[in-house]
């Protein structure tokens, strides 16, 4: 899904959707296709939160909010990828 998304980034909704369908089809089931679409967003948000732990209490609080915001942005931005992953897995 990552490679397909990078290759088809120039298509606003259709590119991530196609990448999601292909990745979901390779994943094999709707649940695994959806997880494969969400995993990069979860990893990026966790990385931001972990880095914020190293910066002290003020950085930690800001990092928590930044990580949550990154996750929400990633989910909404990757909605086409999620939909494609679910549909591709169901096929």
In-domain check, residue 64: yes
In-domain check, residue 4: no
The beta-carbon contacts of 40-49 under 8 Å, at least 24 apart in sequence, are 40/2, 40/74, 41/70, 41/71, 41/74, 41/75, 41/78, 42/71, 44/70, 44/71, 44/74, 45/70, 45/71, 45/74
pLDDT of residue 35: 86
Other C-beta atoms lying within 10 Å of the C-beta of residue 22 = 18
pLDDT of residue 44: 75
pLDDT digits (tens, 9 = 90+) for 29-84: 888 888 888 887 788 778 877 887 787 676 777 777 877 887 787 777 778 888 88
Other C-beta atoms lying within 10 Å of the C-beta of residue 87 = 17
In-domain check, residue 63: yes
Q: Whole domain around residue 67: which residue ranges?
A: 11-90
In-domain check, residue 3: no
Predicted TM-score (pTM) of this structure = 0.65
pLDDT of residue 7: 87
The domain tally of the chain equals 1
In-domain check, residue 26: yes
Residue 12, pLDDT > 80, answer no
In-domain check, residue 30: yes
């Amino acid at each position: 899904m990552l490679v397909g998304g990078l290759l088809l980034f120039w298509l606003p909704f259709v590119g991530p959707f196609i990448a999601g369908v292909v990745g979901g089809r390779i994943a094999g089931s709707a649940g695994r296709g959806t997880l494969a679409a969400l995993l990069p967003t979860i990893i990026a948000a966790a990385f931001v939160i972990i880095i914020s732990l190293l910066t002290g209490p003020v950085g930690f609080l800001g990092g928590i909010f930044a990580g949550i915001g990154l996750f929400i942005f990633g989910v909404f931005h990757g909605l086409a990828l999620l939909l494609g992953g679910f549909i591709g897995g169901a096929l």
